[in-house]
Amino acid sequence: MTKKFLSIFFISLAGFVACKNQQKAKEEDAPPSEVKTPVTVTPVELANLEDSIELNATSTFLQSSYVKSNANGYVVQVNAKPGEFVKEGKTLFLVQTKESMVIGNAISSLDSSFKFSGVNVIKAQAHGYITQLNHEKGDYVQDGDQLAVISNMNSFAFLLNIPYELKQYALNQKSVKLTLPDGTRLQGTITSVMPIVDSLSQTVPVVIKVNSSELIPEDLIAKVLIIKNQRAGVQTLPKSAVLSDEAQTNFWVMKMIDSVTAVRTEIKKGLDINNRVEIISPRFTPQDRIVLTGNYGLSDTARVIVQN
């Protein structure tokens, strides 16, 4: 009885071990579960891209009118103040010659009906601001002495010193946008590029004229937007969606071809501005979805799981 029981026990044990080995073999032979990389996707968007630089421009009067005495004598009247805006033709100074004062007083003492003033009227030759006032009433001046300086209003402009290598961009556009320190925006017109270069900074002066109802002071610094390149209605993607090799010569994106598969798609990129990249080719459709995050290191025809 005991031998029979032992035989049955060993036979059952052997069967149990055999079953276990078969189950383990099946588990080892089973293919591993598929791993999918979590990603997010984005569509290709049409947008306007503008490659520009911002430089400083300073307001200035390019021309000045010098008010000078036309005789030797005394300043008997001054009709100007520093900083005052004057119009062309306004009387600024009266200068009485030294001789007229002597002769006039002598003759008047003999004949009270004789009128001889010897006063020279000196007028403004241009519209502008009195930026210098060199003499006042009672001063003795000589012929040719400078009495005042008028900044010619017609010559008011912003002077932009642009790096020489960027000069072509100023030549290619006539209209520019200026922003004053208080946030005021003005439209400016490039009227000329001066044929001179600063030896130290290697910059070229560019003259920008503006139309403004407000009087703008001299030496005010404004921001000027110079457009280097612009594209309208082009394909764009976020910068993170575009991949490249180490040499930055080949570029591609991972495009979804179904709900779980992303394939490598070679692209030709254009402008790269403000975290948006222009896609020159190929042409994508509004339904195409491009992997935005999780794309780094993905192989061609990668299995992914799209997350919201």
**pLDDT, position 230:** 86
User: What CA–CA distance (Å, rounded) separates 74 from 140?
Assistant: 4
- pTM score of the predicted model: 0.62
Rounded CA separation 247/244 (Å): 8
Q: What is the CATH number of domain 53-60+155-229?
A: 2.40.30.170
Listed as ranges, residues in the chain with pLDDT below 50 are: 30, 106-108, 110-111, 113-114
Fold annotation for 37-50+231-306: 2.40.420
Reported as a single tens digit per residue, the pLDDT across 95-137 is: 998 877 666 554 445 445 445 568 999 999 988 889 899 999 9
The answer for residues whose C-beta is within 8 angstroms of residue 2's C-beta and 6 or more apart is none
Q: What pLDDT score was predicted for residue 174?
A: 85
CATH 2.40.420.20 in the chain, residue ranges: 37-50+231-306
Q: Which CATH architecture has domain 70-144?
A: Beta Barrel (2.40)
In the numeric block, which tokens belong to residue 135? 């003499």
Q: What is the pLDDT of residue 213?
A: 77
Name residue, tokens 């241009």: 126
Give yes or no for a contact between 131 and 150, defined as CB atoms under 8 angstroms apart: yes
**Domain boundaries for CATH 2.40.30.170 within the chain:** 53-60+155-229
Distance CA 7, CA 21 (A): 21
| Per-position b or e across 78-96, b if 16+ CB within 10 A of its CB | bebeeebebeeeeebbbbb
Q: Supply the pLDDT for residue 229.
A: 87
